[in-house]
Amino acid sequence: MKKSTYIKIIITIYTLVLYVLNTNAQSFKNLDAVSHDISYLRETMVTQPLVKVIYGRPKAKTSKVFGSKVPYGELWRTGANEATEVKLYKDTKFGDTLVKAGTYVLVTIPGKKEWEIILSANLDVWGAFQYDPTADVARIKVPVSKAERLETFSIVFKKVPLKQTLMVLGWGRTRVKIPIEIKRNNHLAGL
């Protein structure tokens, strides 16, 4: 075999290998820059969940998040990308409203001193762009507090005295605490 034919075969094989490596599904091109997270409320680490929240976690790129990146007085998706989903495994008192077990979308209207928190039955939506107020199942207002700076938007659950649990939303220096109580054995109870 001629040397030039041998070189052409080597180049062809090399080109095919590079093509296969570049089209491999493991390349993960064009991934979303915003990570997603799940926050659970459980009585203990090994018990079934009582509440599950799935949400996007945007990062703050400026020192001021609310009132700047997220405007005051406007509907916010409460995270990033797809709508934040809250799954209640049992009937739950959300603020002063008893909400049946099920899955809901969480949207908010941030304010400087107070936020409006909304649970909506309008599921499988992207952000708050398809928000429909006729699908609201609960709407409450909660005060804003300040804390140490948090670079990435986060949602956690905090157990507090008086048999109540708080779903805490935090980003930048802003914290919003949503009171919830889980209905068990025909009565409401915190954890």
> pLDDT tens across 9-21, in order?
778 887 777 666 6
Upper half-sphere CA count for residue 179 (Cβ side, 13 Å)? 17
What is the DSSP pairing of strand 102-109 with strand 114-120? antiparallel
Residue-wise pLDDT tens digits, 160-184? 776 679 999 999 999 999 999 987 6
Q: The whole model's pTM is what?
A: 0.80
The β-bridge relationship of strands 114-120 and 136-160 is antiparallel
Cα 19 to chain centroid distance, Å, stands at 37
**Number of neighbouring beta carbons within 10 Å of residue 62:** 8
Contact 163, 189 (CB under 8 A): yes
Task: Find out whether 87 and 66 touch, Cβ atoms under 8 Å.
Answer: no
pLDDT tens, position by position, 19-51: 666 655 566 677 777 889 999 999 888 889 999
Which sequence spans correspond to the domains of the chain?
31-189
